[in-house]
C-alpha cells in the first residue's frame, strides 16, 4: 500500500491491527480521467462532471440485471492508495484537526467511499455514469440502487 | 459464515473467489433491539425508530472528534450473516428475479450496508442514533458525515 501523506502537526496516527476481520472482493474497476489524487476534483458532479466508466468483472456481471431502471446509483469503492492509521487529521484548508469520522477524507480505518452518481447506460458489463471524483483504476466494491424495485413501482 | 437462505427458483449463485483483495477492520459493534434478520424492520426510521447504540472500539474512538456537529451521519456496516454468492435473486415480495446490484438485499459480493441515521448523542465512544434496521451485534466499518466541515460552515 502506498502512503500519500505524511503526518501534519496535530495529527494522530494509531497502530493498525495485525490482521483484518473480513475480506473484500474487488468486483470491478473504475475508469476516470484522473491519474492521481492531486488531479481529482474535490467533489463529483452528477450533472456537469465527465462521463466515467465502471467495468464490472466476471462472475459479477450477472448481478447487474435490472440496474438500468435506476436514474441514480450509489457506488462503493476502495480507496486503495489511502493510509488507514490517522485518526485525527488536519484537512489542507482547515486551521484545526478533526476526527476521521467527522470528515469525508479518504484516510480512514476502512478506506471505503460512497458516491451517488447519475446512471447513463450499461453496455456488456460496463456502466457509464457521471458524478465520480476518484483516481483512475480505483477498485469497485459495490453498486446499490437508492431504493428497492417494489418501492419504485409504487411511488 | 452462516447461511441464511437457500436458493429460490430462478436465483443464480456463482463460485466465490478463493481469496479476498483487501481486509476490513471491524471498528465497533452496533446494538439494536433485533436479534435476527426476521425481526429487523424492512427500513430504518430516523424519526420514529428506536434509539440504537454504536459502540466504537479502541484505538478508533479518537476518530470521533467533531462528529457531534452532524445532525445526520452515514453508517457503514458489515452484514456478517449474509451469503455473498447469489448474483441473481428473487426478493420475497417480488414475482421475478433481480441482479444483486439492482436491489438493496444484504446478499451481495461485499455485504456492506450504508444507512443514513439521525445522530442523537455521543458518550465515551458510544453513539446514540435513530434509523438503523440491522441485527444486534452487527460489525461497524465506517462513520461518515454528509459533508465536510468547511461546507457546513458556509451553507
CB contact under 8 Å between A23 and B23, yes or no, is yes
User: Which residues lie across from A128 on neighbouring strands?
Assistant: A53, A121
Of residues A23, A59, A87, nearest to B14 (C-beta): A59
User: Which residue is closest to B22 within chain A, CA to CA?
Assistant: A24
* Sign of the dihedral through C-alpha A86, A92, A95, A98: negative
**What pLDDT score does A147 carry?**
77
Q: Is the pLDDT of residue A154 over 50?
A: no
Q: Give the number of C-alpha atoms closer than 13 A to the C-alpha of residue A7, restricted to the C-beta side.
A: 11
Cβ of B2 under 8 Å from any chain A Cβ?
no
- The continuous run of DSSP H or E covering A149 comes out as helix A149-154
d(CA A60, CA A127): 13
Query: How far is residue A66's CA from residue A58's CA, in Å, rounded to a whole number?
Result: 17
Q: B98: buried, middle or exposed (CB in 10 Å: 19+, 13-18, 0-12)?
A: buried
Is the separation of the CB atoms in A105 and A91 below 8 Å? yes
Q: How confident is the model at residue A100 (pLDDT cuts 50, 70, 90)?
A: very high
Which of A88, A93, A109 comes nearest B150 by C-beta? A93
The neighbour count for residue A137, using CB atoms within 10 Å, is 13
Percentage of chain A beyond pLDDT 90 is 81
Chain A residues whose beta carbon lies within 8 Å of the beta carbon of residue B10: none
Complex prediction ipTM: 0.91
Q: In Å, how far are A17, A132, B108 from B137, measured between CA atoms?
A: 20, 33, 20
A43 or B94: which leads in pLDDT: A43
Residue A150 pLDDT = 55
Cβ atoms B105, B11 nearer than 8 A: no
pLDDT score, position B6: 78
The count of C-alpha atoms lying within 13 angstroms of the C-alpha of A85, restricted to the half-sphere facing its C-beta, is 13
The predicted model scores a pTM of 0.91
Which among B25, B87, B145 is the nearest to A62, CB-wise? B87
SS3 content of chain A, % helix, strand, coil (to 5): 15, 35, 55
Residue B10 in contact with partner chain A when CB distance is under 8 A = no
Contact A114 B76 (CB under 8 A): yes
A8 touches chain B (CB under 8 A): no
The rounded distance, in Å, linking the Cα atoms of A99 and B65 is 4
Q: So what's the pLDDT on residue A8?
A: 87
- Span B56-66, pLDDT tens digits: 999 999 999 99
Q: Name the residue among B5, B60, B27 with its Cα closest to residue B138.
A: B27
DSSP 3-state of A18: coil
- Side-chain-facing half-sphere of B61: CA atoms under 13 Å: 12
* CA-wise closest residue to A10 among A122, A95, A71, A82: A95
How far CA B28 is from CA of B35, B40, B70, in Å, comes to 17, 20, 19
Strands B28-31, B12-13: pairing kind: unpaired
Whether pLDDT at A11 is above 90: yes
In the prediction, which pLDDT does B28 show?
98
Provide the CA B8 distance to its chain's centre, in angstroms. Answer: 24
Which residue in the set B17, B24, B93 is minimally distant from A21, CB to CB? B24
Domain boundaries in chain B? 23-147
CATH of domain A23-147: 2.40.30.70
Cα separation of B132 and B143, whole Å? 13
pLDDT per residue rounded down to tens, chain B (155 residues): 444 457 888 899 999 999 999 999 999 999 999 999 899 998 999 999 999 999 999 999 999 999 999 999 999 999 999 999 999 999 877 789 999 999 999 999 999 999 999 999 999 999 999 999 999 999 999 999 997 665 554 43
Size of interface A-B (CB pairs under 8 A): 194
List A77's β-bridge partners, or say none.
A113, A140
Higher-pLDDT residue of A14 and A150 is A14
Kindly report whether the peptide bond that precedes residue A59 is cis, defined as omega within 30 degrees of 0: yes
**Residue of A93, A94, A109 lying closest to B25 (CB–CB):** A109
Q: B3 CB contacts (<8 Å, ≥6 apart)?
A: B83
Look up cell 457503514; give the residue. Answer: B76
Taking CA–CA distances from B149, the nearest residue in chain A reads A103
Chain A partners within 8 Å of B94 (Cβ): 149-150
Amino acid at each position: 500500500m502506498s502512503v500519500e501523506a505524511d503526518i501534519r502537526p496535530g495529527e494522530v496516527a494509531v497502530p493498525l491491527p495485525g490482521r483484518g476481520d473480513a475480506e473484500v472482493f474487488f468486483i470491478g474497476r473504475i475508469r476516470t480521467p484522473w491519474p492521481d489524487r492531486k488531479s481529482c476534483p474535490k467533489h463529483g458532479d452528477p450533472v456537469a462532471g465527465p462521463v466515467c466508466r465502471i467495468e464490472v468483472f466476471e462472475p459479477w456481471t450477472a448481478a447487474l440485471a435490472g440496474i438500468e431502471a435506476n436514474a441514480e446509483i450509489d457506488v462503493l469503492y476502495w480507496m486503495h492508495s489511502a493510509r488507514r492509521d490517522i485518526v485525527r487529521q488536519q484537512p489542507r484548508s482547515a486551521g484545526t484537526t478533526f476526527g476521521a469520522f467527522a470528515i469525508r477524507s479518504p484516510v480512514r480505518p476502512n478506506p471505503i467511499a460512497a458516491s451517488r452518481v447519475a446512471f447513463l447506460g450499461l453496455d456488456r458489463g460496463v456502466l457509464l455514469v457521471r458524478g465520480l471524483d476518484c483516481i483512475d483504476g480505483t477498485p469497485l466494491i459495490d453498486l446499490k440502487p437508492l431504493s428497492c424495485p417494489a418501492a419504485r413501482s409504487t411511488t
